[in-house]
Amino acid sequence: MSERIKIGISACFFHADPSRDIFRGKTLQYIEQSIAHWVQSGGALAVMVPSPEGETKRTAPYDPPTLDEYAQWLDGLVLMGGSDLWPGSYGEAPLSEKWQGDRIRDEYETALSKAFVAAGKPVLGVCRGLQLLNVAFGGTLYQDIATQLPGARTHRDASVYDRNLHDIEFVPGTRLAKLYGGRRGATVNSVHHQGIKDLAKDFVVEARCPDDGVIEAMRWTGPTYVAGVQWHPEFHWQREHVLNDDPILQDFLAECRARRKGSHE
């Protein structure tokens, strides 16, 4: 049996909070079980990539691993969903106190994604991950779709969370559309309130919400595999009446395997 490929998953953060009863004053880095299991369903090893930055103080010499080392060791990267992006990441001030986002995570994931791109390793963004890639490559976001895009459909409904569904339309001729045999569209979950406003340079749109035009999938036209989807494919897993995301996962993992094979030849 051939060696499994290793897929890095970016970490979510619970920042230190002195009022929290458990792990008081401690910063937690974690991944959701569903994203790890989705990656593993394709036969890969899922590995959380911790941020090398932090409050650790050591008296002895300490040489922490770098994100570049993780990019060299791993075969691909998945940027998972989570908190809002800090508007300062794309040159804006927050329109509301509650949309401050997570600047620390933005900086970590931007550096992480650039390390993998520089190493020629595939990157797949999920929900926040798509938004992070768009910003990292120079694009901007709607801080709140309901506020800044009047008439848009409801893209986040906390009362039903991942069971809030809507249709998407694939852009004909794109790689994503070809993965689904040229079909016109599908139904996906929708748990985000932010979204792409200005698409980053050298990216193409692969899917949109037909109700309001919100970008639902994108891909880089550069030399390596960089793509993102606005929905959560890990929430679709083994669920009926929604898009089967196996083709997206298998396409990503196949690219990771091909890159590994090429680097070993």
The Cα angle at residue 100 between residues 144 and 15, in degrees rounded to 5: 130
Catalytic residue (one of 127, 206, 216, 255): 127
User: Minimal CA–CA distance to 236: which of 223, 227, 249, 226?
Assistant: 249
Q: Can you tell me the distance from the alpha carbon of 228 to that of 78, in angstroms, rounded to the nearest whole number?
A: 9
Distances (CA, A) of 34 to 139, 192, 232, 238: 28, 17, 10, 11
Q: What is the dihedral of CA 161, 76, 143, 175, to 10 degrees?
A: -90
32 catalytic, yes or no?
no
37 catalytic, yes or no?
no
Catalytic residue (one of 216, 232, 236, 256): 232
Query: Which of helix, strand or coil describes residue 206?
Result: strand
Catalytic residue (one of 206, 216, 234, 255): 234
User: Minimal CA–CA distance to 196: which of 210, 184, 211, 213?
Assistant: 213
264 catalytic, yes or no?
no
Task: Work out whether the CA dihedral 133, 139, 187, 251 comes out positive or negative.
Answer: negative
Question: What positions carry a catalytic annotation?
Answer: 127, 232, 234
